[in-house]
Amino acid sequence: MRSGILSATLAFLCWGLFPLYFHAIGEVPPLEILMHRVLWSLAFLLLVLALRRQWTWLALVRQPRVFFSFLASAFLLSANWLAYIWAVNNGHVIEASLGYFINPLVNIMFGYLILKERLRPAQWGAIALAALGVAWLTWQSGSVPWIALFLAASFGGYGLLRKTAALGALEGLSFETMLLFPVAAAYVGWLTVTGDNAFVNTPSDTTRLLLIAAGPITAIPLLLFASGARQIPLSILGLLQYLSPTIQFLLGVWLFHEAFSADRLVGFILIWSALALFGGEGLWRSRAAAKA
C-alpha cells in the first residue's frame, strides 16, 4: 500500500510540475514540442521494452479492432498534449488546471452517456455544481472556457478508450507513439529541410537536452501511475489525482502571476465543491463497503 501511494503520488507530482518544463522550452513552437515529445518518447519506450523483453503484445495490434482503437486514442492523446502545451506557453496554466479538475466529472458523464452506467444522486449533484461553475466562468469572462473543456473532454475520451483497451499502460503508450511516429518524423524532417527546426537552430544546448528529455519525462510518470494503480484502491487513487491540477493552479497563480480575480475564484470554488462532493461520497461508499 505504501509503495503504491508513493508511486502514484510521484506520478501526479510530475504531471503537476509539467508547466515548469514547457515554460523552459517556450522558445520552441507547441506543435514542434509535440512532435519531439512523440519521437523521444518512442525512443525511451522502446529502450524500456527491450530491457524488459516485452514484445509479445505486438501480435495483438494486428487485430483491426485493437489497431483502430489505439489509432483513435493516439489522436485524442496528441490533441490533448498539443492543447496543453499551447495553453501553458500562452499564459493559460490556470485554465489548463481547470480542465483536469473537471476531468473526473467528464468521466462520469461519459460513463453515463456511453457505457450506460447509473449515476447516484451525489454524482448528479457534483455534475450540476460543476456545470454551474463553468456557467459562472463563462458569464463572468464573457467567453466559454474552451481550453479547460477541450482538455477535459479529450482526456476523458482518451481514458474511455483506454478503459477497455487490450494493452497495458506501457504497451499502449508505446503503440500510440508508434502510430504517431510517421507524422512526427515527417514534420520534423520538413522543418529541417525548410530550416525551421528549433532543435537544430537553437543556440541553447539546454533546450536540446530538454527536448530529448521529453521521452523519460512523458513515460516515467505513466509507469509510476500504472504501478501505483495496481497497488492501491481506486478511492485513494481518485483523491490523489487532484494533486496534479492543484499544483498547476498554484504555479499559475504564484509563479506565473496569471490574472485570477475574485469573480473567477467563485467559479473555481463551485467546481472544487463539486469535486469535494464527488470524492467524499465515493470515499464514504468505499468505507461502508469495506465495513460490510
Q: Which residues of 133-143 are buried (b: 16+ CB within 10 A; e: fewer)?
A: bbebbeeeeee
**pLDDT in the model for residue 159:** 82
**pLDDT in the model for residue 239:** 72
Closest CA to 69 of 147, 176, 146, 229: 176
Residue 1 CA to residue 232 CA, distance in Å, equals 6
Condensed to tens digits (0 to 9), the pLDDT of residues 236-269 reads: 766 778 889 999 999 999 999 998 888 889 999 9
Q: What is the DSSP string of 85-132?
A: HHHHHTT-HHHHHHHHHHHHHHHHHHHHHTS-----HHHHHHHHHHHH
Q: CA 48, 231, 11 angle in degrees (round to 5)?
A: 55
Res. 287 pLDDT band, cuts 50 70 90: confident
DSSP letter at 273?
H
Share of the chain above pLDDT 70, in %: 97
Could you tell me the pTM of the whole model? 0.89
Condensed to tens digits (0 to 9), the pLDDT of residues 64-74 reads: 999 999 999 99
**pLDDT in the model for residue 205:** 93
Whether 183 has a pLDDT exceeding 70, the answer reads yes
For the chain, what is the mean pLDDT?
88
User: Are 66 and 167 a contacting pair, CB within 8 Å?
Assistant: yes
**pLDDT in the model for residue 111:** 81
Res. 1 pLDDT band, cuts 50 70 90: low
**pLDDT in the model for residue 238:** 67
Q: Which residues of 102-113 are buried (b: 16+ CB within 10 A; e: fewer)?
A: bbbbbbbbbbee
Number of other CB atoms surrounding residue 217 within 10 Å: 18
Whether 131 has a pLDDT exceeding 70, the answer reads yes
User: Are 45 and 177 a contacting pair, CB within 8 Å?
Assistant: yes
CA 45 to chain centre: 18
31-42 average pLDDT score: 94
Whether 190 has a pLDDT exceeding 70, the answer reads yes
Residue 182 CA to residue 4 CA, distance in Å, equals 36
Condensed to tens digits (0 to 9), the pLDDT of residues 4-18 reads: 888 888 988 999 999
Whether 92 has a pLDDT exceeding 90, the answer reads yes
Condensed to tens digits (0 to 9), the pLDDT of residues 44-62 reads: 999 999 998 989 999 888 8
For the chain, the maximum distance between any two Cα atoms, rounded to a whole number of angstroms, is: 66
Condensed to tens digits (0 to 9), the pLDDT of residues 191-235 reads: 999 999 999 999 999 999 999 999 999 888 888 887 777 677 665
Residue 51 CA to residue 29 CA, distance in Å, equals 33
Closest CA to 173 of 162, 185, 160, 187: 162
135-152 average pLDDT score: 89
Residue 125 CA to residue 123 CA, distance in Å, equals 5
State whether residue 46 is helix, strand or coil: helix
**pLDDT in the model for residue 47:** 93
Whether 272 has a pLDDT exceeding 70, the answer reads yes
**pLDDT in the model for residue 13:** 93
**pLDDT in the model for residue 234:** 60
Residue type, 46: L
